[in-house]
């Protein structure tokens, strides 16, 4: 196995799943297993590196002094949807375009995943059907390491000073917490955490979340007439009064949504949690206002119930920052074009660590990894595109 792929395989075999119920930072101690390996490999290349008290790996490769320092960042954790333990990656050499058997129960067919047709005649890495692959984002980790190794082994190749950061807990939205732009030291950076090599992500959602607590009045159903106020009925009334088609399953592109992620309760009380998303920050504010109006509407209908609504904003659309300081995007466009790649831009229907880094002083668009179907057992890596990304990132930091 080639060294770049072997490194990727080594990383995905380490279980680094994060945990959104944990109070610690990082959320799981097993993320240190990968952090320590990355640190020791960077030190093996002769780079100074450290794991800070929050489990973030910072490192630095000095380059041409008159050039701006460019940052490279990826995350170490894997998603919560499915286990990342005992990942057994399978290499499919020279893919024949047929059904890929992951195990006795699960297969991937080009009918279900039409994208696979693009990869006939090339190599893929897939799961063994029981876990995710973890290419999100260990492909990013491996791409960065390969680029660093290249410049360390080829000192005659001039390059920008390179700041390196591996973060835990991206999947639970805590990756950018404790981000130290000064320590990182980059003028701008790139997260390597996307899919298609030709895509440069410069837009994310603006994000907020809402917590609703409804206190009803419970009473024996036999004597409930004109007395019972069923908290669950109020919860469903609330949800059904929101704009019906502003939901993830009905929206795409720049359309925002409300997404009910949990509803728990009894007739006596109910708790609801929503995430609210829009690329346009004004429209997000309007959505937040709409939610408050609906809260008041339900409260007026049922004055004896108690309805508490609290809304907090989370990350913001990084486009705001990248428009003001376009150096990272312009540099990427120039480099992609010099490699004969026409970069494409699509609004991300989600967030990236880079969105928050951008607001914390380091403009950070997101680039591809050559991996797809993240957060599930059908996740796969295109070896060809993974190597294309290594080439692209090498060129981005080249002098």
Contacting residues toward Zn ion, per CB under 5 A: 136-137, 193
Q: Which residues pair with 265 in a beta bridge?
A: 270
Q: Are 365 and 322 in contact (CB under 8 A)?
A: yes
Of 4, 77, 146, 196, the active-site residue reads: 77
How, if at all, do strands 57-61 and 162-167 pair?
A: antiparallel
Question: Of 59, 41, 61, which is closest to residue 50 (Cα–Cα)?
Answer: 59
* Structure tokens given for 263: 């509803």
Of residues 141 and 187, the one with the C-beta less far from Zn ion: 141
Distance between CA atoms of 143 and 389, rounded to whole angstroms?
Answer: 7
- Give Cβ neighbours of residue 106 (< 8 Å, ≥ 6 apart): 129, 377, 378
> For this structure, is 77 an active site residue?
yes
Q: Is 153 a catalytic residue?
A: no
In this complex, which beta carbon is closest to Zn ion, that of residue 374 or of residue 398?
Answer: 374
The vertex-237 CA angle with 233 and 242, nearest 5°, equals: 155
Burial of 96 (0-12, 13-18, 19+ CB in 10 A): exposed
Measured from the CB of residue 96, what is the shortest distance to Zn ion in angstroms? 29
**Least spacing, CB of residue 173 vs Zn ion, in Å:** 11
Question: Exposed, middle or buried: residue 386 (CB in 10 Å: 0-12, 13-18, 19+)?
Answer: buried
- Do residues 312 and 201 make contact, with C-beta atoms less than 8 angstroms apart? no
Beta strand pairing call for 269-278 and 200-201: unpaired
Residue (137 or 146) nearer to Zn ion, CB? 137
- Closer to Zn ion by CB, 78 or 287: give it: 78
Of 47 and 275, the one with the shorter C-beta distance to Zn ion is: 275
> What's the distance, CA 133 to chain centroid?
15
- Please report how close the Cβ of residue 193 comes to Zn ion at its closest, in angstroms: 4
Do residues 55 and 168 touch, judged by C-beta distance below 8 A? yes
Q: Which two tokens stand for residue 289?
A: 């206002």
- Helices 383-397 & 3-12, crossing angle to 10 degrees? 110
Which residues have C-beta within 8 Å of that of residue 22, sequence separation ≥ 6? 28
Q: Give 244's Cβ-side CA count (13 Å radius).
A: 2
Q: What is the smallest separation between the CB atom of 374 and Zn ion, expressed in angstroms?
A: 7
| Cβ distance to Zn ion smaller for residue 136 or 169 | 136
- Closest contact distance (angstroms) between CB of 92 and Zn ion is 23
Cα separation, 84 vs 93, whole angstroms = 23
Cβ-contact 86, 130 below 8 angstroms? yes
For Zn ion, the closer of residues 238 and 386 by Cβ is: 386
Of 4, 136, 169, 170, which is the active-site residue?
170
User: Which residues belong to the active site?
Assistant: 77, 170
């Amino acid at each position: 196995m080639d060294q770049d792929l072997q490194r990727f395989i080594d990383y995905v075999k380490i279980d680094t799943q994060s945990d959104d119920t944990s109070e610690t930072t990082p959320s799981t101690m097993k993320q240190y297993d990968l952090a320590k390996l990355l640190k020791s490999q960077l030190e093996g290349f002769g780079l100074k590196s450290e794991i800070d008290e929050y489990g973030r790996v910072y490192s630095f490769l000095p380059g041409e002094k008159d050039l701006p320092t460019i940052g490279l960042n990826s995350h170490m954790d894997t998603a919560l949807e499915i286990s990342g333990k005992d990942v057994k990656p399978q290499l499919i050499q020279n893919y024949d375009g047929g059904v890929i058997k992951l195990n006795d129960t699960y297969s991937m067919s080009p009918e279900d995943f039409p994208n696979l047709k693009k990869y006939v005649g090339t190599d893929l890495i897939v799961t063994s059907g029981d876990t995710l692959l973890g290419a999100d984002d260990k492909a990013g980790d491996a791409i960065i390491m390969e680029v660093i190794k290249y410049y360390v082994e080829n000192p005659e190749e001039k390059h920008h000073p390179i700041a390196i950061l591996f973060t835990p807990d991206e999947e639970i939205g805590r990756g950018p917490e404790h981000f130290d732009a000064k320590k990182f030291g980059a003028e701008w950076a790139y997260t390597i955490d996307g899919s298609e090599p030709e895509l440069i992500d410069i837009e994310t959602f603006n994000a907020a979340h809402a917590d609703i607590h409804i206190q009803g009045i419970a009473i024996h159903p036999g004597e409930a007439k004109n007395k019972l106020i069923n908290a669950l009925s109020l919860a469903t009334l609330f949800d059904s009064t929101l704009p019906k088609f502003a939901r993830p399953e009905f929206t795409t592109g720049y359309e925002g949504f409300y997404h009910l992620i949990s509803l728990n309760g009894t007739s006596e009380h109910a708790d609801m949690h929503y995430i609210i998303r829009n690329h346009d920050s004004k429209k997000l504010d309007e959505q937040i206002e709409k939610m408050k109006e609906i809260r008041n509407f339900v409260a007026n209908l049922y004055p004896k119930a108690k309805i508490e609504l609290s809304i907090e904003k989370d990350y913001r659309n990084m486009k705001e920052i990248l428009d003001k300081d376009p150096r990272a995007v312009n540099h990427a466009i120039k480099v992609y074009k010099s490699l004969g790649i026409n970069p494409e831009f699509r609004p991300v229907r989600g967030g990236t660590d880079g969105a928050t880094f951008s607001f914390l002083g380091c403009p950070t668009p997101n680039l591809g990894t050559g991996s797809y179907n993240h957060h599930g057992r059908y996740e796969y890596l295109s070896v060809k595109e993974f190597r294309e990304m290594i080439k692209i990132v090498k060129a981005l930091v080249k002098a």
